């Protein structure tokens, strides 16, 4: 399915997880283990990034295709001891081990598929390569693309349009709609603080901000269904951005991109690169704990939870988590918001470690 429906919501709060392609084969397998556990919590979709400069093109395609076709068995629990469920027939293709039989309660098994969105950038991508990527995911049943211009390749300052390629995300959106019609749900990037190219000495002028917004509307008018925002740490800036988008007639869902702070150096690197404003409150809270990784992560979970609570309280019912391929902080935040239960976090993936996880 296309995710515009899922993210638009049916009244329930929806959340989604972003991952990036790991560098090693072992890293990829670890990522799939982690995804297995995270997908059990029923995100509305998961997405996988396109490496800077197209550096991970083949891997991103492989991971996307595998993600779309993975299936996760998700147990739903009620009092097994008092029911007649026959595990052998409930799970015909799984070995039923003794440890599985020690569940104290089980209701049924839902099979969850992962709605996948692949990021695609224009950097170093002539149109033939773009079409190859789109044809490949289409033939694997993927219906969602995050259409991006991309950053300049490593070592270069400015984005340069490659011969036979596109100059900006708007071109890519237009191309996807012209060539693939309505097949793909298209997402585009939005920048609550304006795109970093528009920011000089820490601020974007009103003119630059408005020009960025007008350009975003052109991406939506060209066929984008959904906007996911760049990370931010000042929730008021995000809420103002949503309001400004609505004022100029952007009506599609705008999904906030939330990046939990996992470690101090990574936080400084990302916010420096994206030119993100850091409220004093956050700087002051981090300063005394910056060398204590565990304390920083705990603060990141607290902060992420508070930000999301405020966003939800303002009528936005979708959250997108930049997981950085880590599960703890993202899951802790959605658990704190009451979107998943603690028992389900502990119980995800019973097949791998049943005796550690379940009460016997
Ligand atoms: P565009 O939408 O094309 O525009 C960038 C800026 O240039 C605009 O904001 C606008 O100010 C200006 N601009 C461009 N064309 C015009 C025009 N015709 N008229 C006026 N102004 C114009 N990068 C990766 O390499 N891989 C990823 O997987 C990836 N995923 C991302 C996911 C999200 C949610 C976000 C927010 C960013 C992601 N990025 C990724 C980073 C992104 O590639 C960079 O921010 C890049 O510099 C801009 O891409 P864009 O699609 O926003 O570009």
Q: What is the ipTM of this complex?
A: 0.97
Q: Where does the pLDDT of residue 126 fall: very low under 50, low under 70, confident under 90, or very high at 90 and above?
A: very high
Residues with Cβ < 8 Å from 134, sequence gap 6 or more? 120, 145, 176, 179, 180, 184
> Residue 155: what pLDDT?
81
State yes or no: pLDDT of 347 exceeds 60: no
Q: What pLDDT, in 10s, does the model give residues 222-279?
A: 999 999 999 999 999 999 999 999 999 999 999 999 999 999 999 999 999 999 999 9
Distance CA 191, CA 193 (A): 5
- Rounded average pLDDT over 338-352: 57
| HSE-CB of 250 using CA atoms within 13 angstroms | 26
Ligand 1 binding site (Cβ under 6 Å of any ligand atom): 49-50, 52, 119, 121, 146, 148-151, 168-170, 189, 191, 195, 197-198, 212, 215, 228, 230, 257
Best residue among 161, 168, 253, 254 to mutate for probing ligand 1's pocket (most ligand atoms within 8 Å of CB) is: 168
Could you tell me the pTM of the whole model? 0.88
Which residue owns the Cα nearest ligand 1 atom 52?
189
What is each CA distance from 245 to 169, 242, 293, in whole angstroms?
18, 5, 37
Residues with Cβ < 8 Å from 353, sequence gap 6 or more? none
Considering the chain, what is the average pLDDT of its residues?
85
Measured in Å, residue 147 CA sits from the centre of ligand 1 at 9
Distance CA 283, CA 358 (A): 41
Measured in Å, residue 184 CA sits from the centre of ligand 1 at 19
Question: Do the beta carbons of residue 304 and residue 262 sit within 8 Å?
Answer: no
Measured in Å, residue 80 CA sits from the centre of ligand 1 at 51
Distance CA 75, CA 98 (A): 17
> Residue 243: what pLDDT?
98
- Share above pLDDT 90 across residues of the chain, in percent, rounded to a whole number: 67
> Residue 89: what pLDDT?
55
Q: Which one of 18, 26, 128, 294 is the catalytic residue?
A: 18
Give the residue carrying structure tokens 């052998």. 88
Question: Do the beta carbons of residue 73 and residue 91 sit within 8 Å?
Answer: yes
Which residue owns the Cα nearest ligand 1 atom 1?
169
Which class for 127: exposed (0-12), middle (13-18), buried (19 or more C-beta within 10 A)?
middle
Nearest to 318 by CA among 248, 274, 258: 258
> Residue 158: what pLDDT?
87
Kindly report which listed range (51-60, 184-193, 350-359) carries the lowest average pLDDT score.
Answer: 350-359
Q: Who has greater pLDDT, 88 or 337?
A: 337
> Residue 74: what pLDDT?
53
Measured in Å, residue 150 CA sits from the centre of ligand 1 at 6
Output DSSP code: residue 151.
Answer: P
Question: Do the beta carbons of residue 110 and residue 74 sit within 8 Å?
Answer: yes
> Residue 87: what pLDDT?
52
> Residue 282: what pLDDT?
98
First to last CA, the chain: 39
From the alpha carbon of 168, which atom of ligand 1 is closest?
3
State yes or no: pLDDT of 351 exceeds 60: no
Helix axis angle, 328-336 to 293-313, nearest 10°? 40
- Rounded average pLDDT over 128-141: 96
> Residue 342: what pLDDT?
62
Question: Do the beta carbons of residue 228 and residue 147 sit within 8 Å?
Answer: no
Is residue 327 part of the annotated active site? The answer reads no
Nearest to 259 by CA among 269, 243, 270, 272: 270
């Amino acid at each position: 399915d296309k995710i515009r429906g899922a993210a638009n919501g049916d009244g329930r709060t929806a959340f989604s997880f972003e991952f990036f392609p790991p560098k090693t084969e072992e890293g990829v397998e670890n990522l799939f283990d982690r995804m297995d556990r995270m997908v059990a919590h029923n995100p509305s979709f998961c997405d996988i990034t396109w490496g800077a400069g197209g550096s991970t093109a083949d891997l991103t395609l492989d991971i996307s295709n595998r993600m779309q076709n993975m299936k996760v068995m998700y147990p739903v629990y009620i009092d097994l001891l008092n029911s007649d469920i026959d595990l052998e027939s409930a799970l015909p293709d799984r070995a039923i081990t003794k440890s599985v039989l020690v569940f104290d309660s089980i209701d049924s098994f839902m099979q969850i598929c992962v709605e996948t969105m692949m990021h695609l950038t224009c950097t170093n991508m002539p149109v033939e390569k773009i079409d190859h990527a789109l044809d490949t995911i289409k033939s694997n049943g993927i219906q969602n693309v995050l259409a991006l211009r991309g950053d300049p390749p490593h070592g270069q300052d400015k984005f340069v349009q490659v011969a036979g390629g596109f100059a900006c995300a708007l071109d890519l959106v237009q191309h996807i709609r012209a060539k693939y019609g309505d097949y793909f749900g298209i997402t585009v990037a939005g920048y609550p603080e304006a795109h970093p190219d528009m920011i000089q000495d820490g601020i974007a002028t009103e003119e630059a901000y408005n020009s960025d917004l007008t350009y975003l509307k052109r991406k939506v008018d060209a066929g984008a269904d959904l906007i996911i925002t760049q990370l931010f740490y000042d929730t008021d800036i995000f809420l103002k951005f949503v309001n400004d988008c609505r004022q100029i007639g952007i009506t599609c869902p705008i999904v906030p991109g939330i990046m939990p702070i996992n470690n101090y150096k990574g936080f400084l690197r990302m916010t420096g690169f994206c030119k993100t404003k850091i409220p004093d409150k956050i700087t002051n809270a981090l300063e005394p704990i910056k060398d204590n990784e565990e304390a920083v992560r705990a603060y990141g979970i607290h902060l992420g939870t508070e930000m999301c609570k405020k966003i939800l309280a303002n009528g936005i019912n979708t959250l997108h988590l930049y997981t950085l391929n880590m599960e703890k902080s993202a899951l802790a935040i959605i658990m704190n918001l009451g979107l998943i239960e603690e028992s389900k976090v502990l119980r995800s993936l019973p097949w791998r470690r049943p005796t550690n996880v379940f009460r016997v």
